[in-house]
Chains A and B, each alone.
Chain A
């Protein structure tokens, strides 16, 4: 067959994807169809195109049949375009002489009727064949990358990632919006399933962060703006005024004692409101940095503008500065790791559980503080009146597995409920009743932990609690909180009077997840968790190169999984830095000076100011290094002078024609 440039030799490969595609699409028929399309020299179908033999098939045909263009009809290009481009390159073909037809995600998986799925697949393949005939060989450009990483969120995820990267000798900016790092884990006394002391394993890591020469800890700070791209981000960080000079304060606490408020008066955020603090305070003894902070909402000077400022007087180091202003810092980073964690469900949304109405209904997080030896009660489990509870109910799945709140399983609450059952029993000797829907304990040593709790004699009742009430129906219920549930394993409804109720609240995305996501140009799942590139194969990558996610911001998870992800994100960031460069997709715009009328329409279109006018020649010129390939200018040019590589008008019209020439 003769090879004319107008009609290059095309190879078409139809993937079965096991049965994923083959079940809905008649792959043989589609292949026969493809074989008869103009320019197609080879058409094959194969079980798994992305597998090694599948890729070799392409390489071999390029070499043996002299293919000049390749079309693979398989899954989404977002998944495997890179794979097949590499295969083409390995076969000696320019990787951009390639086109993918998405017949899995957009055909086989979404089409009920087999016949119509087959037709749609044919149309998409016809389109790809038409389009690829117009494809042009292109070159990728390389850009050098920096060697610094910004990590957002100083929970265990952020801390672990920061230490990993810093230990590898790279600079880390750890941005935490609270006055201290530590996240949720810092609040716990013990962690399941080993019951090792949270502080014992966390605080050494926290102080390593503070002391590490490669880590710049930016607490009480938030990311304002992110510009740039993988390898070369420019990030603006806003430092909130602490009203204390961090570098001067040594955390002696003199100022706290001296404050005009003689007694702590305001609910402590760190202690979930179970303890009180002054306007100037240290969140908790091991806070990192070990520096006080002055709360602008309660400090007299900062609210009323009038105070004796005893604190200022007390500080011998002159660390307090009530006039401190927010500060903006701009840093460069090659990579970003977002590790902003989660928030617990607010049970006020479920009034039937009486949180906020009955004093002795607590959230799990409050009880975490209560059982903490350095917490507000010194580790004692006590009721509001100071007495020890004789019986305690723990309610699982509060705000989880419920269409009305959150449909998902929060994954850690079964385990932490078991942990709290153990701690409460140990500290108070109370009878503990645990109400669960399913006991979810998948993890190393987790089922064994459940077994241990069973043995300890916690009363497990399978049934979701309908309500908690102080309406007594019997003598024994008087003065108690009564928990109502069907004991679904025994088959009767039960009312159990208890002194204290713990609500095992679920995990939900941070309330500002949407704003954070926009800043970093990453996506959220429907529920609001940050979206990973692939749930199995790229769990810490995002769709934005150079931005990784780790920990509970990606979905509910426990500390072991969080740390695993943090390690993964850190090593992916390090891999990028180590590689030293990024490759830029050659989908940039180009102006044809012959056609350009110099009207300047395009200049205002480009969000990246990538186009300027060559005053001498009177035409527009695109700066390839700045162009990100959106194509907006192309659509705008009245003279049709701009084209976008990989998305030329020609290619798109061709694709359109392919689609419409076939039903």
Chain B
């Protein structure tokens, strides 16, 4: 099956996905995927947090604003939270966030919540590949670069790595 590159999209474009994984389940699972040498699309970049309950919806919005084409949130299965119920809280926030994103016109597959247990290395692989695939179909996320309070990179109070040294390296 050949991949369809949507019109108007650079052929070598690759989606950038930020992943917030909880320390106990999903981060461990992605280590397990590594130990098991399961190759998958290299488009995700993981940020480790102790619990999915720590994930502030702001983080997601900030990621999208700063150029991510998608955000993946990974936590322990319901009932398995290392902190008892952080993942439920995450789920509640996620539901709210979804409404907000829909209002902003951000397509559903771009922000995804998955329960991935420490033993589910294969799920990390599956979910990542699937997500990359879907976002490729959607193409790059184009947001109006509105500057929000707290968005320091945009506000210019903080030198962005991308703007400076690194650009030449790409």
Contact = CB atoms under 8 A, between A and B. Distances in A.
Chains A and B form a bound pair: yes
B74 interface: no
Given A110-B42, A659-B47, A660-B63, A635 B56 contact: yes
B45 A531 contact: no
Interface stretch (B2-10, B85-93, B102-110): B85-93
Contacts of B117: 523
Contacts of A543: 24, 28, 118
Interface string B40-69: 101001111111011111110011001110
B114 interface: no
Given A116-B42, A652-B59, A660-B18, A76 B34 contact: yes
B153 to A, nearest CB: 5
A107 B31 CA distance: 10
Contact of B31 (A106, A630, A649): A106
A662 B49 contact: no
Given A37-B161, A76-B31, A521-B82, A655 B47 contact: yes
Interface string A629-656: 1111011100000001001010011011
Contacts, number: 175
Interface in B76-105: 79-80, 82-86, 89, 93
Interface in A546-561: none
Nearest to B124: A110
Interface residues of A, number: 64
Given A112-B39, A632-B86, A635-B54, A656 B14 contact: no
B165 to A, nearest CB: 4
Interface in B17-35: 18, 23-25, 27-28, 30-31, 33-35
Nearest to B45: A659
Contact of A122 (B48, B58, B89, B169): B169
A38 B39 contact: no
Contacts of A266: none
B160 interface: yes
A33 interface: yes
Contact of A77 (B48, B55, B152): B48
Contact of A587 (B35, B50, B165): B50
Contacts of B53: 605, 630-632, 635
A108 B63 CA distance: 24
A621 B59 CA distance: 24
Nearest to B58: A649
A163 B157 CA distance: 63
A518 B59 CA distance: 29
Nearest to B163: A661
Nearest to B66: A660
Contact of B59 (A105, A117, A656): A656
A359 interface: no
Interface in A519-543: 521, 523-526, 531, 543
Contact of A109 (B35, B80, B158): B35
Given A110-B40, A656-B66, A526 B163 contact: no
B21 to A, nearest CB: 10
A102 B48 CA distance: 10
Given A126-B161, A531-B119, A631-B51, A607 B84 contact: yes
Interface of B: 14, 16, 18, 23-25, 27-28, 30-31, 33-35, 37-40, 42, 45-51, 53-59, 62-63, 66-68, 79-80, 82-86, 89, 93, 117-122, 125, 150, 152-153, 158-166, 169-170
Interface of A: 33, 36-38, 76-79, 102, 104-113, 116-117, 119-120, 122-124, 126-127, 129-130, 518, 521, 523-526, 531, 543, 587, 605, 607-608, 628-632, 634-636, 644, 647, 649, 652-653, 655-663
Kindly list the 9 A-B residue pairs having the minimum CB-CB distance in the complex, ordered from nearest: A631-B54, A661-B162, A105-B34, A632-B53, A630-B83, A109-B34, A661-B161, A630-B51, A607-B84
8 contacts: A33-B166, A119-B42, A129-B161, A521-B82, A634-B56, A635-B93, A658-B161, A660-B16
Given A630-B53, A655-B47, 9 more contacts: A37-B165, A127-B45, A523-B25, A525-B119, A526-B119, A630-B86, A653-B150, A656-B18, A659-B47
